[in-house]
Amino acid sequence: MSEPVAVTDKTPVTVLTGYLGAGKTTLLNRILSEPHGKRYAVIVNEFGEIGIDNELVVGADEEVFEMNNGCICCTVRGDLIRIIEGLMKRKGKFDAIIVETTGLADPAPVAQTFFVDEDVRAKSRLDAVVTVADAKWLASRLRDAPEAKNQIAFADVIIINKVDLVTPAELDEVEARIRAINPYARLLKATKCDVEIDEVLERRAFDLERILDIEPDFLNAEDHDHDHHHDHEHGHDHHHHGLKHFHDEDMQSVSARLDGDLDPNKFMPWINNLTQTEGPKILRCKGIVALKGDPKRFVFQGVHMMLDGEPQRDWKPGEKRESKVVFIGRDLDEEAIRKGFAACAA
């Protein structure tokens, strides 16, 4: 049975990405056919794969527009703004929205739509970017298709699909390649996208209230190196948590951490300046920081040049005040980010 939904709740929007043939439509049909009692409005690209069995399916044109604010990476999906506006007129007829993008789509404009458009923000919220990856072909696509790399780097949830078609060693390799780009996404392994729907929907990945921790998904508390120094020696496949450790040539994550407080008068200008100047290269960023004199944890997240941040819950008594930031992006200057962050110490 469907659960009652509070009228004040914003409609969650899940974005499904994945390179051509990875299995987006399989996942979509799986979500739609599960007996969860939820009703979905599905936004598909007009030239996409057919055969979606759902009452409310809307064809979209994937019209990516630049915002008129002088910021070149600030692109939005104009069609999505229009469609969400239209769907909201039928509010009450569905519980959530799923957006399926084309295989070549960059997830950034979709996500940025939820930062930029006031009307979209007022009525809906981006839940998570879910990327379906083909276990057999992802490694090749990461070499020859920048779109595939973007989709992995951007994801909150990554489904390695068709694991039945690869050997355990091949699976290890594809997992390691994904982790080299995005160690923070939740990783699921599947055959025919047979994942638990709860693992994909209602993730609240963009909800500042829910960003409780930003540890890499695979880390165990005991033996992780907090600074996640990547091994830059190529050709040297050392084993890390039983996985090969790769370094992706152009897409990386950089994390930094600092014990104690940050000076808000240093940190705020630094993070703003960093995202303004390096924004085109930064796909995603997140952070939980302790600002001097503030009893609350300050949490932020961003997409390219767009930042969203707010004070969250109080630091608990006995909880260690510390600050952590994570950036996933292309050709990031790791040393400059680390130094800049370190200089924000109070």
Partner 1 sequence: MTEPSNSLTQHVSPLEAGEPVLAAAFVGDAPALALANGVVKLGGRDVAAHPDGAILCAALDGARWLTGGDDGRVVAISAEGAAETLADEKGKWIDALAAREGAVAWSAGKTVRARDAKGAVKSWTAPTTARGLAFLPKGYRLAAAHYNGVSLWFPNADAAPQLLEWKGSHLDATVSPDGRFLVTSMQENALHGWRLSDGRNMRMTGYPGKSRSLSWSHDGHWLATSGAEACVVWPFKEKDGPMGKPPRECGVRPHRITEVAFHPRALVVAIGYADGLVLLCRLGDAAEILVRPPGAGAISALAWDKIGARLLFGTDAGAAGLLTLPA
Of 40 and 327, nearer to partner 1 (C-beta) is: 40
Of 81 and 289, nearer to partner 1 (C-beta) is: 81
| Closest approach of partner 1 to the CB of residue 116, in Å | 8
Residues 115-144 contacting partner 1, CB under 8 A = 117-119
DSSP 44-84: EETTS------SEEEEE---EEE-SSS-TT-EEEHHHHHHH
**Would you say the C-alpha torsion 110, 75, 105, 153 has a positive or negative sign?**
negative
Whose tokens are 């830059």? That residue is 232
Rounded distance between C-alpha atoms, residue 25 and residue 48, angstroms: 9
- Kindly state the number of chain residues that form the binding site for partner 1, as judged by CB under 8 A: 22
| Closest approach of partner 1 to the CB of residue 78, in Å | 5
Of 119 and 209, nearer to partner 1 (C-beta) is: 119
Tell me which stretch binds partner 1 (CB under 8 A): 87-95, 97-105, 160-168, 244-252: 87-95
| Closest approach of partner 1 to the CB of residue 186, in Å | 33
Of 90 and 241, nearer to partner 1 (C-beta) is: 90
Rounded distance between C-alpha atoms, residue 24 and residue 27, angstroms: 5
Rounded distance between C-alpha atoms, residue 115 and residue 74, angstroms: 10
Q: Which residues pair with 328 in a beta bridge?
A: 253, 284
Whose tokens are 């007129």? That residue is 89
From candidates 33, 47, 90, 239, binder to partner 1 by CB under 8 A: 90
Strand, coil or helix: 133: strand
Of 119 and 164, nearer to partner 1 (C-beta) is: 119
Residues contacting residue 324 through CB under 8 Å, at least 6 positions apart: 214, 255, 256, 257, 258, 287, 288, 289
End-to-end CA distance of the chain: 52
Tell me which stretch binds partner 1 (CB under 8 A): 113-121, 137-145, 154-162, 328-336: 113-121
Of 109 and 287, nearer to partner 1 (C-beta) is: 109
Residues 21-80 contacting partner 1, CB under 8 A = 58-59, 61, 63, 65-69, 76, 78-79
Using CB under 8 A, list all residues that contact partner 1: 58-59, 61, 63, 65-69, 76, 78-79, 81-83, 86, 89-91, 117-119
